[in-house]
Structure 1
Protein backbone atom coordinates (compact mmCIF):
# COMPACT_ATOMS: atom_id res chain seq x y z
CA UNK A 1 0.00 0.00 0.00
CA UNK A 2 2.76 2.45 0.91
CA UNK A 3 4.52 1.67 -2.37
CA UNK A 4 1.72 3.53 -4.21
CA UNK A 5 2.75 6.97 -2.98
CA UNK A 6 2.41 9.63 -5.66
CA UNK A 7 5.67 10.95 -7.12
CA UNK A 8 4.42 14.48 -6.45
CA UNK A 9 4.05 13.71 -2.73
CA UNK A 10 6.53 15.13 -0.23
CA UNK A 11 6.82 11.64 1.28
CA UNK A 12 9.34 9.06 0.10
CA UNK A 13 9.44 5.34 0.82
CA UNK A 14 12.76 3.82 1.87
CA UNK A 15 13.93 0.26 1.30
CA UNK A 16 13.66 -2.22 4.18
CA UNK A 17 16.80 -3.06 6.10
CA UNK A 18 15.95 -6.72 5.57
CA UNK A 19 16.44 -8.02 9.12
CA UNK A 20 14.40 -11.13 10.06
CA UNK A 21 11.61 -10.23 12.49
CA UNK A 22 13.09 -12.48 15.18
CA UNK A 23 16.37 -10.53 15.03
CA UNK A 24 14.86 -7.03 15.09
CA UNK A 25 15.21 -6.39 18.81
CA UNK A 26 18.71 -7.92 19.23
CA UNK A 27 19.97 -5.81 16.29
CA UNK A 28 18.12 -2.75 17.60
CA UNK A 29 19.66 -2.92 21.08
CA UNK A 30 23.11 -3.75 19.68
CA UNK A 31 23.03 -0.65 17.47
CA UNK A 32 21.58 1.44 20.30
CA UNK A 33 24.32 0.48 22.77
CA UNK A 34 27.02 0.98 20.13
CA UNK A 35 25.62 4.44 19.33
CA UNK A 36 25.45 5.43 23.02
CA UNK A 37 29.02 4.19 23.57
CA UNK A 38 30.20 6.05 20.48
CA UNK A 39 28.61 9.31 21.64
CA UNK A 40 29.90 9.02 25.22
CA UNK A 41 33.47 8.12 24.20
CA UNK A 42 33.79 10.86 21.59
CA UNK A 43 32.24 13.54 23.82
CA UNK A 44 34.49 12.34 26.64
CA UNK A 45 37.60 12.79 24.48
CA UNK A 46 36.48 16.28 23.37
CA UNK A 47 35.71 17.39 26.96
CA UNK A 48 39.03 16.02 28.22
CA UNK A 49 41.01 17.85 25.53
CA UNK A 50 39.13 21.10 26.23
CA UNK A 51 39.43 20.87 30.05
CA UNK A 52 43.05 19.66 30.32
CA UNK A 53 45.36 22.52 29.43
CA UNK A 54 48.26 20.12 28.86
CA UNK A 55 46.28 18.69 25.92
CA UNK A 56 45.88 22.08 24.24
CA UNK A 57 48.29 21.01 21.54
CA UNK A 58 47.62 21.09 17.77
CA UNK A 59 47.50 17.29 17.43
CA UNK A 60 44.74 16.91 20.02
CA UNK A 61 42.81 20.02 18.98
CA UNK A 62 42.77 18.75 15.39
CA UNK A 63 41.57 15.38 16.64
CA UNK A 64 38.51 17.11 18.13
CA UNK A 65 37.37 17.70 14.55
CA UNK A 66 37.34 13.95 13.97
CA UNK A 67 35.29 13.28 17.11
CA UNK A 68 32.76 15.99 16.18
CA UNK A 69 32.48 14.50 12.69
CA UNK A 70 31.95 10.98 14.08
CA UNK A 71 29.19 12.23 16.39
CA UNK A 72 27.39 14.16 13.65
CA UNK A 73 27.82 11.48 10.97
CA UNK A 74 26.42 8.69 13.13
CA UNK A 75 23.60 10.88 14.44
CA UNK A 76 22.41 11.49 10.87
CA UNK A 77 22.10 7.72 10.31
CA UNK A 78 21.56 5.69 13.47
CA UNK A 79 18.69 7.43 15.39
CA UNK A 80 16.40 7.55 12.30
CA UNK A 81 17.31 3.93 11.52
CA UNK A 82 16.56 2.81 15.09
CA UNK A 83 13.20 4.61 15.05
CA UNK A 84 12.30 3.01 11.72
CA UNK A 85 13.24 -0.46 13.02
CA UNK A 86 10.86 -0.16 15.97
CA UNK A 87 8.00 1.72 14.30
CA UNK A 88 8.16 -0.11 10.97
CA UNK A 89 7.58 3.25 9.29
CA UNK A 90 9.75 3.51 6.18
CA UNK A 91 8.38 6.88 5.09
CA UNK A 92 10.54 10.01 5.12
CA UNK A 93 9.83 13.57 4.05
CA UNK A 94 11.68 14.84 1.00
CA UNK A 95 13.40 17.67 2.91
CA UNK A 96 14.39 15.32 5.72
CA UNK A 97 15.85 13.00 3.07
CA UNK A 98 17.89 15.84 1.56
CA UNK A 99 19.13 16.76 5.05
CA UNK A 100 20.24 13.16 5.63
CA UNK A 101 21.99 13.07 2.24
CA UNK A 102 23.91 16.24 3.08
CA UNK A 103 24.87 14.93 6.53
CA UNK A 104 25.91 11.46 5.36
CA UNK A 105 28.12 12.75 2.53
CA UNK A 106 29.62 15.54 4.64
CA UNK A 107 30.60 12.90 7.20
CA UNK A 108 32.38 10.82 4.56
CA UNK A 109 34.09 13.83 2.97
CA UNK A 110 35.15 15.45 6.25
CA UNK A 111 36.64 12.14 7.43
CA UNK A 112 39.16 12.47 4.59
CA UNK A 113 39.85 16.21 4.86
CA UNK A 114 40.29 16.10 8.65
CA UNK A 115 42.75 13.22 8.42
CA UNK A 116 44.65 15.19 5.75
CA UNK A 117 45.22 18.15 8.11
CA UNK A 118 46.18 15.74 10.90
CA UNK A 119 48.79 14.20 8.56
CA UNK A 120 50.16 17.69 7.86
CA UNK A 121 50.48 18.29 11.61
CA UNK A 122 52.42 15.05 12.08
CA UNK A 123 54.70 15.93 9.16
CA UNK A 124 55.59 19.32 10.64
CA UNK A 125 56.09 17.84 14.14
CA UNK A 126 58.57 15.20 12.97
CA UNK A 127 60.27 16.83 9.98
CA UNK A 128 60.49 20.36 11.42
CA UNK A 129 60.42 19.89 15.20
CA UNK A 130 62.34 23.10 15.99
CA UNK A 131 59.88 25.20 13.99
CA UNK A 132 56.77 23.29 15.03
CA UNK A 133 55.47 25.83 17.55
CA UNK A 134 56.11 28.69 15.13
CA UNK A 135 54.28 26.93 12.29
CA UNK A 136 51.41 25.22 14.12
CA UNK A 137 50.08 28.29 15.92
CA UNK A 138 46.47 28.50 17.20
CA UNK A 139 45.67 30.54 14.09
CA UNK A 140 47.09 27.78 11.85
CA UNK A 141 45.11 25.09 13.70
CA UNK A 142 41.94 27.16 13.31
CA UNK A 143 42.65 27.79 9.60
CA UNK A 144 43.31 24.10 8.91
CA UNK A 145 40.14 23.05 10.74
CA UNK A 146 37.93 25.55 8.92
CA UNK A 147 39.53 24.62 5.59
CA UNK A 148 38.88 20.91 6.14
CA UNK A 149 35.18 21.48 6.87
CA UNK A 150 34.73 24.14 4.16
CA UNK A 151 36.24 21.94 1.43
CA UNK A 152 34.06 18.97 2.44
CA UNK A 153 30.87 21.06 2.70
CA UNK A 154 31.54 22.81 -0.64
CA UNK A 155 31.97 19.51 -2.50
CA UNK A 156 28.87 17.99 -0.92
CA UNK A 157 26.90 21.20 -1.49
CA UNK A 158 27.53 21.01 -5.24
CA UNK A 159 26.79 17.27 -5.24
CA UNK A 160 23.40 17.71 -3.55
CA UNK A 161 22.50 20.85 -5.54
CA UNK A 162 22.87 18.93 -8.81
CA UNK A 163 20.36 16.38 -7.52
CA UNK A 164 17.90 19.01 -6.27
CA UNK A 165 17.68 20.65 -9.71
CA UNK A 166 16.03 17.49 -11.10
CA UNK A 167 12.30 16.87 -11.15
CA UNK A 168 10.94 13.74 -9.45
CA UNK A 169 8.98 10.97 -11.13
CA UNK A 170 9.51 8.29 -8.47
CA UNK A 171 8.95 8.13 -4.73
CA UNK A 172 10.87 5.01 -3.65
CA UNK A 173 14.40 5.38 -2.27
CA UNK A 174 16.39 2.28 -3.37
CA UNK A 175 18.28 2.24 -0.07
CA UNK A 176 17.50 1.98 3.66
CA UNK A 177 18.73 5.56 4.16
CA UNK A 178 19.02 8.58 1.89
CA UNK A 179 22.21 9.04 -0.10
CA UNK A 180 22.91 11.16 -3.17
CA UNK A 181 22.66 8.33 -5.71
CA UNK A 182 19.25 7.36 -4.33
CA UNK A 183 18.16 11.00 -4.46
CA UNK A 184 18.92 11.64 -8.12
CA UNK A 185 17.54 8.22 -9.10
CA UNK A 186 14.10 9.59 -8.16
CA UNK A 187 14.23 11.57 -11.41
CA UNK A 188 13.45 10.38 -14.95
CA UNK A 189 15.63 13.13 -16.45
CA UNK A 190 19.16 12.73 -17.82
CA UNK A 191 21.46 12.32 -14.79
CA UNK A 192 24.76 12.11 -16.70
CA UNK A 193 25.91 15.40 -15.11
CA UNK A 194 25.27 13.93 -11.66
CA UNK A 195 27.24 10.79 -12.51
CA UNK A 196 30.15 12.80 -13.95
CA UNK A 197 30.38 15.12 -10.96
CA UNK A 198 29.94 12.17 -8.60
CA UNK A 199 32.96 10.52 -10.22
CA UNK A 200 34.89 13.83 -10.09
CA UNK A 201 33.95 14.25 -6.41
CA UNK A 202 35.16 10.74 -5.57
CA UNK A 203 38.42 11.07 -7.52
CA UNK A 204 39.27 14.49 -6.05
CA UNK A 205 38.53 13.38 -2.50
CA UNK A 206 40.41 10.08 -2.69
CA UNK A 207 43.33 11.47 -4.72
CA UNK A 208 43.87 14.41 -2.35
CA UNK A 209 43.44 12.18 0.69
CA UNK A 210 45.62 9.25 -0.35
CA UNK A 211 48.15 11.53 -2.04
CA UNK A 212 48.55 13.84 0.97
CA UNK A 213 48.83 11.03 3.51
CA UNK A 214 51.22 9.03 1.29
CA UNK A 215 53.52 12.01 0.65
CA UNK A 216 53.66 13.06 4.31
CA UNK A 217 54.38 9.54 5.57
CA UNK A 218 56.99 8.88 2.90
CA UNK A 219 58.75 12.11 3.91
CA UNK A 220 58.50 11.13 7.57
CA UNK A 221 59.94 7.66 6.80
CA UNK A 222 62.83 9.20 4.83
CA UNK A 223 63.66 11.61 7.67
CA UNK A 224 63.60 8.80 10.24
CA UNK A 225 65.74 6.55 8.01
CA UNK A 226 68.38 9.14 7.14
CA UNK A 227 68.79 10.65 10.61
CA UNK A 228 68.81 7.28 12.43
CA UNK A 229 67.77 9.03 15.64
CA UNK A 230 66.26 6.58 18.13
CA UNK A 231 64.33 9.31 19.97
CA UNK A 232 62.96 10.72 16.70
CA UNK A 233 61.94 7.25 15.50
CA UNK A 234 60.20 6.50 18.79
CA UNK A 235 58.32 9.82 18.62
CA UNK A 236 57.30 9.14 15.02
CA UNK A 237 55.95 5.70 15.86
CA UNK A 238 54.04 6.94 18.92
CA UNK A 239 52.44 9.94 17.22
CA UNK A 240 51.88 8.54 13.72
CA UNK A 241 50.65 5.03 14.49
CA UNK A 242 47.29 6.24 15.83
CA UNK A 243 46.66 8.52 12.86
CA UNK A 244 47.67 5.88 10.31
CA UNK A 245 45.51 3.13 11.87
CA UNK A 246 42.47 5.46 11.98
CA UNK A 247 43.07 6.47 8.36
CA UNK A 248 43.42 2.89 7.12
CA UNK A 249 40.23 1.80 8.92
CA UNK A 250 38.29 4.67 7.34
CA UNK A 251 39.78 4.00 3.90
CA UNK A 252 39.16 0.25 4.08
CA UNK A 253 35.53 0.75 5.15
CA UNK A 254 34.97 3.19 2.28
CA UNK A 255 36.44 0.83 -0.32
CA UNK A 256 34.29 -2.04 0.95
CA UNK A 257 31.15 0.07 0.37
CA UNK A 258 32.25 0.87 -3.20
CA UNK A 259 33.00 -2.81 -3.87
CA UNK A 260 29.66 -3.97 -2.44
CA UNK A 261 27.77 -1.69 -4.84
CA UNK A 262 29.08 -3.98 -7.59
CA UNK A 263 27.26 -6.95 -6.06
CA UNK A 264 23.54 -6.10 -6.00
CA UNK A 265 22.72 -9.76 -5.42
CA UNK A 266 23.84 -9.28 -1.78
CA UNK A 267 21.57 -6.42 -0.66
CA UNK A 268 21.65 -7.19 3.08
CA UNK A 269 25.45 -7.42 3.13
CA UNK A 270 25.62 -4.06 1.32
CA UNK A 271 23.36 -2.47 3.95
CA UNK A 272 25.36 -4.01 6.77
CA UNK A 273 28.62 -2.64 5.34
CA UNK A 274 27.03 0.84 5.03
CA UNK A 275 26.17 0.77 8.75
CA UNK A 276 29.63 -0.50 9.70
CA UNK A 277 31.22 2.32 7.66
CA UNK A 278 29.66 4.75 10.14
CA UNK A 279 29.89 2.97 13.46
CA UNK A 280 33.26 1.16 13.24
CA UNK A 281 35.54 4.20 12.63
CA UNK A 282 33.45 6.37 14.99
CA UNK A 283 33.69 3.76 17.76
CA UNK A 284 37.37 2.89 17.27
CA UNK A 285 38.78 6.41 16.83
CA UNK A 286 38.55 7.48 20.50
CA UNK A 287 39.74 4.04 21.64
CA UNK A 288 42.76 4.08 19.33
CA UNK A 289 43.74 7.63 20.26
CA UNK A 290 42.96 7.06 23.92
CA UNK A 291 45.12 3.94 24.18
CA UNK A 292 47.88 4.73 21.69
CA UNK A 293 48.43 8.42 22.49
CA UNK A 294 50.50 8.65 25.67
CA UNK A 295 49.21 11.99 26.97
CA UNK A 296 45.53 11.13 26.52
CA UNK A 297 46.05 7.66 27.99
CA UNK A 298 47.73 9.14 31.07
CA UNK A 299 44.93 11.67 31.56
CA UNK A 300 42.29 8.93 31.29
CA UNK A 301 44.16 6.85 33.89
CA UNK A 302 44.42 9.90 36.18
CA UNK A 303 40.69 10.51 35.95
CA UNK A 304 39.83 6.91 36.81
CA UNK A 305 42.45 6.73 39.59
CA UNK A 306 40.90 9.78 41.26
CA UNK A 307 37.52 8.02 41.28
CA UNK A 308 38.92 4.75 42.61
CA UNK A 309 41.17 6.15 45.35
CA UNK A 310 39.07 6.87 48.51
CA UNK A 311 38.89 10.52 49.60
Structure 2
Protein backbone atom coordinates (compact mmCIF):
# COMPACT_ATOMS: atom_id res chain seq x y z
CA UNK A 1 0.00 0.00 0.00
CA UNK A 2 2.87 2.34 0.81
CA UNK A 3 5.73 3.23 -1.53
CA UNK A 4 9.23 3.28 -0.09
CA UNK A 5 12.83 3.94 -0.98
CA UNK A 6 16.16 2.36 -0.07
CA UNK A 7 19.19 4.66 0.05
CA UNK A 8 22.52 3.59 1.53
CA UNK A 9 20.74 0.91 3.58
CA UNK A 10 18.32 3.54 4.96
CA UNK A 11 14.63 2.69 4.65
CA UNK A 12 12.05 5.48 4.58
CA UNK A 13 8.34 5.42 3.80
CA UNK A 14 7.49 8.06 1.22
CA UNK A 15 3.78 7.98 2.13
CA UNK A 16 2.51 7.98 5.72
CA UNK A 17 -0.90 7.52 7.31
CA UNK A 18 -2.07 10.29 9.64
CA UNK A 19 -4.02 9.12 12.69
CA UNK A 20 -5.83 12.47 12.97
CA UNK A 21 -8.51 13.55 15.41
CA UNK A 22 -11.06 11.07 16.67
CA UNK A 23 -14.30 13.04 16.37
CA UNK A 24 -17.79 11.56 16.63
CA UNK A 25 -19.35 11.38 13.13
CA UNK A 26 -22.24 13.63 14.15
CA UNK A 27 -19.76 16.35 15.24
CA UNK A 28 -17.57 16.34 12.12
CA UNK A 29 -19.40 19.10 10.26
CA UNK A 30 -19.71 21.26 13.38
CA UNK A 31 -15.95 20.99 14.03
CA UNK A 32 -15.24 21.75 10.36
CA UNK A 33 -17.41 24.91 10.37
CA UNK A 34 -15.90 26.16 13.64
CA UNK A 35 -12.31 25.66 12.46
CA UNK A 36 -13.05 27.16 9.03
CA UNK A 37 -14.58 30.33 10.52
CA UNK A 38 -11.68 30.59 12.96
CA UNK A 39 -9.11 30.23 10.19
CA UNK A 40 -10.82 32.88 8.04
CA UNK A 41 -10.92 35.24 11.04
CA UNK A 42 -7.23 34.66 11.83
CA UNK A 43 -6.14 35.22 8.23
CA UNK A 44 -8.30 38.27 7.51
CA UNK A 45 -7.70 40.12 10.78
CA UNK A 46 -3.95 39.45 11.03
CA UNK A 47 -3.30 40.41 7.41
CA UNK A 48 -5.65 43.40 7.84
CA UNK A 49 -3.70 44.72 10.84
CA UNK A 50 -0.45 44.11 8.96
CA UNK A 51 -1.60 46.05 5.88
CA UNK A 52 -2.87 48.91 8.03
CA UNK A 53 0.44 49.26 9.88
CA UNK A 54 2.38 49.37 6.62
CA UNK A 55 -0.03 51.86 5.01
CA UNK A 56 -0.30 54.21 8.02
CA UNK A 57 2.85 56.35 8.35
CA UNK A 58 2.12 57.24 11.96
CA UNK A 59 2.53 53.56 12.83
CA UNK A 60 6.02 53.28 11.31
CA UNK A 61 7.62 53.11 14.75
CA UNK A 62 9.89 50.35 16.13
CA UNK A 63 7.14 49.06 18.44
CA UNK A 64 4.67 48.55 15.59
CA UNK A 65 7.30 47.35 13.10
CA UNK A 66 8.43 44.65 15.54
CA UNK A 67 4.80 43.73 16.17
CA UNK A 68 4.37 43.05 12.42
CA UNK A 69 6.33 39.82 12.87
CA UNK A 70 3.59 38.53 15.16
CA UNK A 71 0.68 38.50 12.64
CA UNK A 72 3.01 37.03 9.99
CA UNK A 73 3.95 34.24 12.37
CA UNK A 74 0.35 33.73 13.49
CA UNK A 75 -0.84 33.27 9.90
CA UNK A 76 1.99 30.76 9.33
CA UNK A 77 1.08 28.87 12.51
CA UNK A 78 -2.61 28.68 11.63
CA UNK A 79 -2.01 27.81 7.97
CA UNK A 80 0.37 24.96 8.71
CA UNK A 81 -2.18 23.21 10.93
CA UNK A 82 -5.82 24.20 10.35
CA UNK A 83 -6.21 23.44 6.58
CA UNK A 84 -4.77 19.95 7.13
CA UNK A 85 -7.08 19.32 10.10
CA UNK A 86 -10.06 20.60 8.06
CA UNK A 87 -9.23 18.12 5.31
CA UNK A 88 -8.86 15.20 7.73
CA UNK A 89 -12.04 16.01 9.68
CA UNK A 90 -14.15 15.18 6.61
CA UNK A 91 -11.93 12.29 5.45
CA UNK A 92 -12.22 8.63 6.29
CA UNK A 93 -9.49 7.69 8.83
CA UNK A 94 -8.15 5.05 6.42
CA UNK A 95 -7.49 7.66 3.69
CA UNK A 96 -5.62 10.32 5.68
CA UNK A 97 -2.36 9.95 3.77
CA UNK A 98 0.48 12.46 3.74
CA UNK A 99 3.83 12.25 1.97
CA UNK A 100 6.99 12.15 4.04
CA UNK A 101 8.21 15.43 2.50
CA UNK A 102 4.92 17.17 3.32
CA UNK A 103 5.06 15.80 6.85
CA UNK A 104 8.62 17.09 7.42
CA UNK A 105 7.64 20.48 5.99
CA UNK A 106 4.61 20.69 8.28
CA UNK A 107 6.72 19.70 11.29
CA UNK A 108 9.32 22.34 10.40
CA UNK A 109 6.81 25.20 10.17
CA UNK A 110 4.92 23.88 13.17
CA UNK A 111 8.04 24.14 15.37
CA UNK A 112 9.11 27.38 13.69
CA UNK A 113 5.81 28.94 14.70
CA UNK A 114 6.20 27.83 18.30
CA UNK A 115 9.80 29.02 18.52
CA UNK A 116 9.30 32.42 16.88
CA UNK A 117 6.27 33.03 19.11
CA UNK A 118 8.84 33.29 21.91
CA UNK A 119 11.70 35.02 20.06
CA UNK A 120 9.42 37.71 18.56
CA UNK A 121 7.91 38.53 21.94
CA UNK A 122 11.44 38.61 23.41
CA UNK A 123 12.58 41.33 20.99
CA UNK A 124 9.34 43.21 21.69
CA UNK A 125 10.19 42.96 25.39
CA UNK A 126 13.55 44.62 24.68
CA UNK A 127 11.75 47.44 22.84
CA UNK A 128 9.41 48.02 25.80
CA UNK A 129 12.36 48.00 28.21
CA UNK A 130 14.21 50.69 26.24
CA UNK A 131 11.07 52.80 25.83
CA UNK A 132 10.40 52.92 29.57
CA UNK A 133 13.84 52.61 31.14
CA UNK A 134 15.75 54.75 28.60
CA UNK A 135 13.13 57.03 27.05
CA UNK A 136 15.61 59.81 26.20
CA UNK A 137 17.83 57.38 24.30
CA UNK A 138 14.99 55.39 22.72
CA UNK A 139 15.37 56.87 19.23
CA UNK A 140 19.13 56.34 19.14
CA UNK A 141 19.01 52.78 20.55
CA UNK A 142 15.98 51.58 18.57
CA UNK A 143 17.32 52.77 15.24
CA UNK A 144 16.33 51.21 11.92
CA UNK A 145 19.54 49.18 12.04
CA UNK A 146 18.70 47.82 15.50
CA UNK A 147 15.15 46.91 14.40
CA UNK A 148 16.60 44.95 11.46
CA UNK A 149 19.11 43.19 13.74
CA UNK A 150 16.40 42.22 16.24
CA UNK A 151 14.10 41.01 13.45
CA UNK A 152 16.79 38.91 11.77
CA UNK A 153 17.86 37.57 15.15
CA UNK A 154 14.32 36.49 16.10
CA UNK A 155 13.80 34.54 12.87
CA UNK A 156 17.43 33.45 12.42
CA UNK A 157 17.74 31.83 15.86
CA UNK A 158 14.43 30.01 15.35
CA UNK A 159 15.42 28.76 11.88
CA UNK A 160 18.74 27.39 13.13
CA UNK A 161 17.31 25.70 16.24
CA UNK A 162 14.40 24.13 14.37
CA UNK A 163 16.63 23.18 11.43
CA UNK A 164 18.91 21.19 13.75
CA UNK A 165 15.87 19.63 15.48
CA UNK A 166 14.42 18.30 12.21
CA UNK A 167 17.87 17.52 10.77
CA UNK A 168 18.50 15.04 13.59
CA UNK A 169 15.17 13.37 12.82
CA UNK A 170 15.26 13.04 9.02
CA UNK A 171 18.56 11.11 9.27
CA UNK A 172 16.70 8.21 10.92
CA UNK A 173 15.36 5.18 9.08
CA UNK A 174 11.76 3.98 9.46
CA UNK A 175 10.10 0.82 10.70
CA UNK A 176 6.63 2.34 11.06
CA UNK A 177 4.38 4.28 8.71
CA UNK A 178 1.64 5.76 10.92
CA UNK A 179 1.85 9.28 12.38
CA UNK A 180 0.19 8.88 15.78
CA UNK A 181 -0.95 12.47 15.87
CA UNK A 182 -3.31 14.91 14.14
CA UNK A 183 -0.39 16.91 12.69
CA UNK A 184 3.25 16.22 11.96
CA UNK A 185 5.78 17.29 14.57
CA UNK A 186 9.29 16.25 15.49
CA UNK A 187 8.28 13.64 18.08
CA UNK A 188 5.77 12.01 15.72
CA UNK A 189 8.44 11.75 13.03
CA UNK A 190 11.23 10.23 15.11
CA UNK A 191 8.76 7.76 16.61
CA UNK A 192 8.56 6.20 13.13
CA UNK A 193 12.10 4.90 13.65
CA UNK A 194 13.30 1.83 15.53
CA UNK A 195 16.80 3.31 15.87
CA UNK A 196 18.08 4.97 19.03
CA UNK A 197 16.50 8.43 19.43
CA UNK A 198 18.43 9.42 22.56
CA UNK A 199 20.12 12.31 20.72
CA UNK A 200 16.74 13.53 19.47
CA UNK A 201 15.21 13.43 22.95
CA UNK A 202 18.21 15.15 24.57
CA UNK A 203 18.35 17.91 21.97
CA UNK A 204 14.56 18.35 21.98
CA UNK A 205 14.47 18.64 25.78
CA UNK A 206 17.47 21.01 25.83
CA UNK A 207 15.91 23.08 23.05
CA UNK A 208 12.63 23.41 24.97
CA UNK A 209 14.30 24.22 28.32
CA UNK A 210 16.67 26.82 26.83
CA UNK A 211 13.87 28.50 24.85
CA UNK A 212 11.43 28.66 27.77
CA UNK A 213 14.14 29.73 30.25
CA UNK A 214 15.38 32.50 27.94
CA UNK A 215 11.86 33.63 27.14
CA UNK A 216 10.45 33.66 30.68
CA UNK A 217 13.73 34.92 32.15
CA UNK A 218 13.96 37.92 29.81
CA UNK A 219 10.30 38.85 30.36
CA UNK A 220 10.53 38.47 34.15
CA UNK A 221 13.75 40.49 34.47
CA UNK A 222 12.48 43.20 32.12
CA UNK A 223 9.14 43.65 33.87
CA UNK A 224 10.78 43.50 37.30
CA UNK A 225 13.06 46.40 36.33
CA UNK A 226 10.16 48.30 34.79
CA UNK A 227 8.17 47.77 38.01
CA UNK A 228 11.08 49.10 40.09
CA UNK A 229 11.26 52.23 37.93
CA UNK A 230 7.50 52.75 38.29
CA UNK A 231 7.71 52.36 42.08
CA UNK A 232 10.58 54.87 42.34
CA UNK A 233 8.98 57.30 39.90
CA UNK A 234 6.53 59.85 41.27
CA UNK A 235 5.36 60.76 37.79
CA UNK A 236 1.84 59.59 37.06
CA UNK A 237 2.48 60.12 33.34
CA UNK A 238 5.47 57.73 33.40
CA UNK A 239 3.55 55.07 35.29
CA UNK A 240 0.51 55.44 33.04
CA UNK A 241 2.68 55.09 29.94
CA UNK A 242 4.39 51.99 31.39
CA UNK A 243 1.07 50.32 32.18
CA UNK A 244 -0.42 51.16 28.79
CA UNK A 245 2.71 50.08 26.92
CA UNK A 246 3.37 46.86 28.80
CA UNK A 247 -0.10 45.52 29.59
CA UNK A 248 -0.81 44.55 25.97
CA UNK A 249 2.54 42.84 25.48
CA UNK A 250 2.31 40.99 28.80
CA UNK A 251 -1.25 39.83 28.07
CA UNK A 252 -0.24 38.46 24.66
CA UNK A 253 2.84 36.79 26.17
CA UNK A 254 0.88 35.07 28.97
CA UNK A 255 -1.78 33.81 26.53
CA UNK A 256 0.94 32.39 24.26
CA UNK A 257 2.87 30.86 27.18
CA UNK A 258 -0.13 29.19 28.82
CA UNK A 259 -1.60 27.86 25.56
CA UNK A 260 1.86 26.57 24.61
CA UNK A 261 2.65 24.92 27.95
CA UNK A 262 -0.64 22.99 28.19
CA UNK A 263 0.14 20.61 25.26
CA UNK A 264 3.71 20.11 26.57
CA UNK A 265 2.43 19.17 30.03
CA UNK A 266 -0.32 16.93 28.62
CA UNK A 267 2.22 15.23 26.34
CA UNK A 268 4.33 14.29 29.36
CA UNK A 269 1.64 13.55 31.94
CA UNK A 270 -1.73 12.88 30.34
CA UNK A 271 -3.04 9.46 29.35
CA UNK A 272 -5.58 11.15 27.08
CA UNK A 273 -4.08 11.59 23.58
CA UNK A 274 -7.21 13.32 22.25
CA UNK A 275 -6.98 15.97 24.96
CA UNK A 276 -3.35 16.59 23.98
CA UNK A 277 -4.31 16.91 20.32
CA UNK A 278 -7.07 19.40 21.13
CA UNK A 279 -4.68 21.45 23.29
CA UNK A 280 -2.17 21.50 20.43
CA UNK A 281 -4.81 22.87 18.03
CA UNK A 282 -5.79 25.53 20.57
CA UNK A 283 -2.15 26.69 20.67
CA UNK A 284 -2.39 27.40 16.94
CA UNK A 285 -5.81 29.04 17.31
CA UNK A 286 -6.02 31.02 20.58
CA UNK A 287 -3.04 33.37 20.18
CA UNK A 288 -3.51 34.03 16.43
CA UNK A 289 -7.17 34.87 17.13
CA UNK A 290 -6.63 37.14 20.14
CA UNK A 291 -3.40 38.89 19.10
CA UNK A 292 -4.87 41.13 16.36
CA UNK A 293 -7.76 42.04 18.66
CA UNK A 294 -5.56 42.91 21.64
CA UNK A 295 -2.89 44.79 19.69
CA UNK A 296 -5.25 46.25 17.13
CA UNK A 297 -7.50 47.83 19.76
CA UNK A 298 -4.50 49.02 21.79
CA UNK A 299 -3.12 51.05 18.87
CA UNK A 300 -5.16 54.28 18.84
CA UNK A 301 -5.06 54.75 15.05
CA UNK A 302 -6.22 51.17 14.37
CA UNK A 303 -8.87 51.36 17.10
CA UNK A 304 -10.32 54.58 15.71
CA UNK A 305 -10.45 53.12 12.20
CA UNK A 306 -12.25 49.98 13.43
CA UNK A 307 -14.79 52.02 15.41
CA UNK A 308 -15.32 54.32 12.42
CA UNK A 309 -15.95 51.28 10.19
CA UNK A 310 -18.58 49.85 12.52
CA UNK A 311 -20.18 53.27 13.07
CA UNK A 312 -20.62 53.67 9.32
CA UNK A 313 -22.23 50.25 9.09
SS in 1 for 2:285: helix
> Is the counterpart of residue 71 in structure 1 residue 75 in structure 2?
yes
Q: Any conservation in 2 of the 1:13–1:173 contact (CA below 8 Å)?
A: yes
Partner of 1:116: 122
CA deviations 1:23-76 (Å, max 9, x no partner) are 000000000000000100100100010000000011111111000000011100
> Is the counterpart of residue 161 in structure 1 residue 167 in structure 2?
yes
In structure 2, C-alpha distance between the alignment counterparts of 1:18 and 1:245, rounded to whole Å: 32
Unpaired runs of at least 5, structure 1? none
> Is the counterpart of residue 255 in structure 1 residue 255 in structure 2?
no
The residue correspondences of 1:36-185 to structure 2 (distance < 5 A) are 36-88=40-92, 89-185=95-191
> Is the counterpart of residue 276 in structure 1 residue 282 in structure 2?
yes
SS in 2 for 1:13: strand
SS in 1 for 2:90: helix
1:190/1:96 CA distance change after superposition, 3 Å: same
Structure 1 length-normalised TM: 0.94
In structure 2, C-alpha distance between the alignment counterparts of 1:295 and 1:213, rounded to whole Å: 27
- What is the CA distance between 1:294 and its match in structure 2? 3.0
Task: Find 1:25's aligned residue among 6, 22, 29.
Answer: 29
Unpaired runs of at least 5, structure 2? 5-10
SS in 2 for 1:157: helix
> Is the counterpart of residue 238 in structure 1 residue 244 in structure 2?
yes
Q: Any conservation in 2 of the 1:42–1:286 contact (CA below 8 Å)?
A: yes
Q: Any conservation in 2 of the 1:69–1:107 contact (CA below 8 Å)?
A: yes
In structure 2, C-alpha distance between the alignment counterparts of 1:157 and 1:42, rounded to whole Å: 26
Partner of 2:229: 223
> Is the counterpart of residue 10 in structure 1 residue 14 in structure 2?
yes
In structure 1, C-alpha distance between the alignment counterparts of 2:12 and 2:161, rounded to whole Å: 28
Partner of 1:298: 304
In structure 2, C-alpha distance between the alignment counterparts of 1:262 and 1:9, rounded to whole Å: 27
How big is the alpha-carbon RMSD for the aligned residues of Structure 1 and Structure 2?
Answer: 1.6
- What is the CA distance between 1:16 and its match in structure 2? 2.9
Count the aligned residue pairs.
Answer: 305
Mean Cα deviation higher: 143-152 or 288-297: 288-297
In structure 2, C-alpha distance between the alignment counterparts of 1:85 and 1:94, rounded to whole Å: 20
Q: Any conservation in 2 of the 1:5–1:12 contact (CA below 8 Å)?
A: no
- What is the CA distance between 1:80 and its match in structure 2? 1.2
